[in-house]
Structure 1
Amino acid sequence: MRAVVFERYGEPAEVREVPDPEPAEHGVVVRVEATGLCRSDWHGWQGHDPDITLPHVPGHELAGTVEAAGSRVTRWRAGDRVTVPFVCACGTCPACAAGDQQVCERQTQPGFTHWGSFAQYVALDHADVNLVAVPNGMSSATAASLGCRFATAYRAVVQQGRVAAGEWVAVHGCGGVGLSAVMIAAAAGARVVAVDVSPHALDLARKFGAAACVDAAAAPDTAEAVRDLTGGGAHLSLDALGAPATCAASVGGLRRRGRHVQVGLLPSPTGTTPVPMARAIALELEILGSHGMAAHTYPPMLELVRAGVLRPDLLVTSTLPLDAAPPALAAMGTAAGAGVTVIEPWR
């Protein structure tokens, strides 16, 4: 098969021929029809993830058709259209037994713990626990966007953030995750403030339901700007980018007893990120993390998509052939992202 491969962190990846994967007894091989280009892939390419072994094929946000299934797989067969959360759970550890597959103790992640979906085929573990059927009529490009960014945003806003109608929600960073969060919070009846440095990203945020926008490149203090716009601070705020400044601004923009959800990864040389904990104590803020979404919790989200309340298809702003993936991956470190870019490996 053809796949995007890199052999050294931060150095150009290339498309080359590599062996086709084989399914594990409990797993499947999926013919990849679409795979999202996500900032997490860029972090992996930069060497920010300790699970990656070189040489490596990135990609974790995908949809396609089951090509082959292992002998212990009972729910899926060749020809089934599927997507998958980026966290593939084992199904048997205590976290999985409690229904918390998104924090599985023995999780695997395509594109991180093993070769991923920037390829024509990808192997996925524990298929009966992790695969999600793609609804009839949903394109593979749309389904691919669900596996990481849209599902991650849905859990962050609805399940972890406990959004309520009428609340103010601030979203810091309007790439794929952030714009998904804007759409989901607005659909829940919240009033959304979108924060980004890109005018194009803010325009998309308005399109997807943001009631107000803050240009972080022009505002001297984005936290203060959010507090002013919301009359005292957001009830719920997300750092959807993953940077010390956006994390601090998200916490700083909350009102009393507000809720901060950290979604974006926060790499740093020391492994720590300064957080204004004095404010968290004084205002009794909640500091929460959010890490993907378990496959068994997809149905309510998919029903909202089916009903047209949520439109993840509108978030897909560009599609690329596999040969264009290496430079697009490298560009994520410098170019402001807006919307979801999808790679189609068979183009």
Structure 2
Amino acid sequence: MRAVRYDGFGEQPEVRQVADPEPPRAGAVIRVEATGLCRSDWHGWMGHDPDIRKFPHVPGHELAGVVEAVGGDVTRWRPGDRVTTPFICACGRCPACAAGDAQVCENQTQPGFTHWGSFAEYVAVEHADVNLVRLPGSMSFPTAASLGCRFSTAFRAVVSQGRVAAGEWVAVYGCGGVGLSAVMIAAASGARVVAVDVSPTALELAARFGAAETVLVETADGSERVREITGGGAHLTVDALGSAATCGVAIESLRRRGRHVQVGLLPRVAGHPAIPMDRVIALELEIVGSHGMAAHAYPPMLAMITGGTLRPELLITRTIGLGEAPEALAAMGTMGTPGVTMILPGHP
């Protein structure tokens, strides 16, 4: 098969012919019809993720496609099924999975990190009966692929971890793929959203997807303006970028007893952010993390999409072939194309 491969951290990715994957005994091989380009892929390529230990490596973790083959222990799926999967593939057996918390599975695997990923014509997925999600017949593959990381992560961050409520103020820092998803989901939930970013184009998209207010900042700050707009601070803040600066100012943007959800990755290599704990204590603020969403939690999100309340397909601003993916991956470290870039492996 054709796949994007790199031979070491930071080394130039290239499209190569590589061996087709075999289905694990409890897993499946998916023919990839669409796969998203995510900043997490860039972090992996740069060596920020400890799960990448072997080279050569194929990145990619947001995917949708068709079941090509299944292992002997798989009972729920067969070739020809249209599916997607969370980027965190759970084991289904550990205490976290038993508690319904597959997104923090103790034995999790992640395509594109723990093993070869979806920047390829085919990808293997572990524990298919636990992790595959059947697609509604009306849903396109690019739309479905956009759910696997950024949109589902934002949905759980805003709805479950953030406990958003109608009428609340929600401030979203960073309006890339996950940030724009958070804007759309919070607005659809009846919240008033303030979008904060350094890019006017990203803020234009945020307004299009439901932001009531936008804040353009020259640096990663903006907390004073957010507190002014919201009359004392947001009820909920989301750091969708993942930097020491955005994490800190998002917390500074909260009102008393506000809630902050950290979604953007903060790799250990970048150092630990300075958290304003004096403010956390004095205002009784709440800080939680959010790490993906389990396959069993997809139905409410899918229902909102098929019902037209959520429109994740609008977040896709660029579609490229596999041959363009190496350059696009390398460019993720700088200001890239706003919105979501979708790769179609069947295209040149």
Question: TM-score range with shorter-chain normalisation?
Answer: over 0.9
Give the AA of the match of 1:43.
Answer: H
- Contact 2:245 2:273 (C-alpha < 8 Å) held by counterparts: no
> What are the Cα deviations for residues 222-256 of structure 1, in whole angstroms up to 9, with x where unaligned?
11111011000000000000001100011010000
Question: Post-superposition shift, 1:264?
Answer: 0.5
Return the alpha-carbon distance in structure 2 between the equivalents of residues 209 and 217 of structure 1: 23
Q: How does 1:64-143 map to 2 (within 5 A)?
A: 64-143=65-144
> What are the Cα deviations for residues 188-234 of structure 1, in whole angstroms up to 9, with x where unaligned?
00000000111110000000000000002278x41111101100000
Corresponding residue for 1:209? 210
- 1:297/1:223 CA distance change after superposition, 3 Å: same
TM (normalized to structure 1)? 0.98
Q: Secondary structure at the match of 1:332?
A: helix
- Contact 2:96 2:105 (C-alpha < 8 Å) held by counterparts: yes
- The answer to whether the aligner puts 1:273 opposite 2:276 as a matched pair is no
Corresponding residue for 1:190? 191
- Contact 1:153 1:181 (C-alpha < 8 Å) held by counterparts: yes
Corresponding residue for 1:147? 148
Give the AA of the match of 1:56.
Answer: H
Give the AA of the match of 1:101.
Answer: A
Return the alpha-carbon distance in structure 2 between the equivalents of residues 274 and 132 of structure 1: 38
- Contact 2:48 2:269 (C-alpha < 8 Å) held by counterparts: no
Give the AA of the match of 2:153.
Answer: T
Give the AA of the match of 1:127.
Answer: A
- Contact 2:29 2:70 (C-alpha < 8 Å) held by counterparts: yes
Corresponding residue for 1:311? 311
Question: Post-superposition shift, 1:337?
Answer: 4.1
Return the alpha-carbon distance in structure 1 between the equivalents of residues 180 and 241 of structure 2: 11
Return the alpha-carbon distance in structure 1 between the equivalents of residues 132 and 124 of structure 2: 12
Question: Size of the alignment, in residue pairs?
Answer: 346
- 1:213/1:79 CA distance change after superposition, 3 Å: same
Q: Secondary structure at the match of 1:236?
A: strand
Corresponding residue for 2:256? 256
Give the AA of the match of 1:227.
Answer: R
Divergent runs of 4+, >6 A: none
Corresponding residue for 1:60? 61
Return the alpha-carbon distance in structure 2 between the equivalents of residues 270 and 187 of structure 1: 34
> What are the Cα deviations for residues 75-109 of structure 1, in whole angstroms up to 9, with x where unaligned?
00000000000000000000000000000000000
- Contact 1:44 1:112 (C-alpha < 8 Å) held by counterparts: yes
Return the alpha-carbon distance in structure 1 between the equivalents of residues 273 and 315 of structure 2: 30
Q: Secondary structure at the match of 2:333?
A: coil
Question: Post-superposition shift, 1:336?
Answer: 3.6
Question: Post-superposition shift, 1:14?
Answer: 0.3
- 1:207/1:17 CA distance change after superposition, 3 Å: same
Return the alpha-carbon distance in structure 2 between the equivalents of residues 46 and 274 of structure 1: 23
> What are the Cα deviations for residues 41-91 of structure 1, in whole angstroms up to 9, with x where unaligned?
000000000110221100000000000000000000000000000000000
Give the AA of the match of 1:119.
Answer: A
Which is further off, 145-154 or 260-269?
260-269
Return the alpha-carbon distance in structure 1 between the equivalents of residues 157 and 116 of structure 2: 27
- Contact 1:198 1:336 (C-alpha < 8 Å) held by counterparts: no
Q: Secondary structure at the match of 1:269?
A: helix
TM (normalized to structure 2)? 0.98
Return the alpha-carbon distance in structure 1 between the equivalents of residues 124 and 298 of structure 2: 21
Aligned-residue identity in percent: 71
Question: Post-superposition shift, 1:333?
Answer: 0.4
- Contact 1:171 1:178 (C-alpha < 8 Å) held by counterparts: yes
Return the alpha-carbon distance in structure 1 between the equivalents of residues 42 and 270 of structure 2: 19
Corresponding residue for 2:171? 170
Corresponding residue for 2:232? 232
Give the AA of the match of 2:132.
Answer: L
- 1:270/1:330 CA distance change after superposition, 3 Å: closer
Question: Post-superposition shift, 1:269?
Answer: 3.0
Which is further off, 127-136 or 333-342?
333-342
Q: Secondary structure at the match of 2:146?
A: helix
- 1:336/1:216 CA distance change after superposition, 3 Å: farther
Q: How does 1:288-303 map to 2 (within 5 A)?
A: 288-303=288-303
5+ long unaligned stretches in structure 2: none
Give the AA of the match of 1:46.
Answer: M
- Contact 1:63 1:84 (C-alpha < 8 Å) held by counterparts: yes
Question: Post-superposition shift, 1:271?
Answer: 4.3
Question: Post-superposition shift, 1:276?
Answer: 1.0
Give the AA of the match of 2:256.
Answer: R
Return the alpha-carbon distance in structure 2 between the equivalents of residues 38 and 88 of structure 1: 17
- 1:216/1:109 CA distance change after superposition, 3 Å: same
